[in-house]
Amino acid sequence: MSIAYDMIRTYPADITVDRALMASAVDTLLDCAEACTSCADSCLSEDQVGSLRRCIRTNMDCADVCSTTARVLSRHTGYDANITASLLQACIQACQTCADECGRHASMHEHCRICAEACGRCTTACRELLTAIEATYR
């Protein structure tokens, strides 16, 4: 298992959402942030960097949103489901936008293909967790 799972599993108070689902989302968010950061850096090294400006910006935005969401999901004391849900919704949007943008370049740049796939996995993980949170807090 992952460190995220170990930490969430050992949290001493009650967590109303499935801990394994939460930990899996944190891991996926961190993987996506890493993919986006690396993709932005790789784009900066391409000869035609000017045509990748939007991709670089989208990568950086997505990495920041994913990292922030992972950090918030890792804190449970004084939990606010509304904040978490809002962050997950923002993350879904950022990942979809980034996946679309990287997808435009995927046939020319392998790093964009990898990043688009990571963003797709993250979108799915965030949707699953958001659904679980909404079901718990209705």
Q: How many CB atoms lie within 10 A of CB 25?
A: 27
User: For residue 16, with 0-12 CB atoms within 10 Å meaning exposed, 13-18 middle and 19 or more buried, which class applies?
Assistant: exposed
Tokens 């990942």 belong to 95
pLDDT for the residue numbered 34: 98
On whether the CB atoms of residues 115 and 59 are closer than 8 A, the answer is: yes
CA–CA dist 51, 112 (Å, integer): 13
Cβ distance 61 to 40 under 8 Å? no
Q: What is the pLDDT of residue 67?
A: 98
Domains in the chain, CATH or no CATH each: 3-9+17-136 (1.20.1270.360)
Q: Can you give the pLDDT at residue 104? A: 97
Q: Structure pTM?
A: 0.96
pLDDT tens across the length of the chain (138 residues): 799 999 999 999 999 899 999 999 999 999 999 999 999 999 999 999 999 999 999 999 999 999 999 999 999 998 899 999 999 999 999 999 999 999 999 999 999 999 999 999 999 999 999 999 999 977
Residues 5, 19 contacting (CB under 8 angstroms):
yes
pLDDT of residue 93: 98
Residue 79 dihedral angles phi and psi, to the nearest 5°: -55, 135
